[in-house]
Amino acid sequence: MATPSLPSDEILIPKLLARDELAYNQIVSAYHGLMVHLARAIVGSAIADEVAQESWVAVLRALPKFERRSSLKTWILRIVSNTAKSRLRHESRTVNLGDALEDSPIVDPSRFKANAHWATPPMNWHADTPDALLSRTELSECISSTLSLLPPVQRAAITLRDMQGLSMEDICKVLEVSESNGRVLLHRARSRIQQAIEEHLKR
């Protein structure tokens, strides 16, 4: 949308509180796509739009009480994350952080010798750019399906970091996890995909 660039939070917030129409358009234009993207990562695409809508209402209702301890964007994404998580709970699907942090090894322990050095080292992928890698048959489908199998919070972490480019600090605020747990979530998610790529290339 040809909206002028988004004004700073300081300018935008009072306008939103005054129910300024242009401000509403600007903020929806700037964040709706990101909100649906994050909601999809947590609840799946079928109800992501609904979660985003519900989050908007929550955002605007809570806005007078927004304390600006983070940027407006981070705060909005946190509301999306919480709305999505409570939606999962409603459908009695778990958002168990414990599962997502599960203590399973990053790399299959049988690939290491007793001294923790490689016994079965990583194979050569014969690709050093994303394009080269994605040109392999069905690799992109393999990544998609691996993403879909991750615990929702891990998928949210990878969406915010490696797709939307948020800082780790903001991601932890959005997902309401400690910095060290946030890093674990992200590393587990990435490693699962790395492993899936390796298995796919072996075929």
Partner 1 sequence: MPSCKDITNHTSEYLDRHMPWHKRIGYWLHLLMCVHCKRYVDQLKLTISTIGRTQDATPPDVSDEQIKDISKCLQEQMAKTDRE
Nearer to partner 1 among residue 62 and residue 89 (C-beta): 62
Nearer to partner 1 among residue 92 and residue 165 (C-beta): 165
- Cα 76 from chain centroid? 14
Site for partner 1 in 56-115 (CB under 8 A): 56-57, 60-61, 106-107, 109, 112, 115
The DSSP symbol for 114 reads T
Nearest to 39 by CA among 131, 160, 122: 160
Nearer to partner 1 among residue 84 and residue 147 (C-beta): 147
The answer to whether 181 contacts partner 1 (rule: CB under 8 A) is no
171 with 73: CB under 8 angstroms? no
Q: Which two tokens stand for residue 94?
A: 């778990």
The answer to whether 144 contacts partner 1 (rule: CB under 8 A) is yes
The answer to whether 129 contacts partner 1 (rule: CB under 8 A) is yes
Min dist CB 127 to partner 1, Å, is 7
DSSP lists the bridge partners of residue 118 as 112
Of the residues 99, 102, 138, 198, which one makes contact with partner 1 according to CB under 8 A: 198
Nearest to 139 by CA among 189, 190, 185, 203: 203
The contacts of residue 40 (CB under 8 Å, 6+ apart) are: 48, 159
d(CA 122, CA 189): 18
Residues that bind partner 1 (CB under 8 A): 1, 19, 21, 24-25, 28-29, 32-34, 36-37, 40, 53, 56-57, 60-61, 106-107, 109, 112, 115-118, 121-122, 124-125, 127-131, 133-134, 140, 143-144, 147, 158-159, 162-164, 168, 183, 186-187, 190-191, 193-194, 197-198
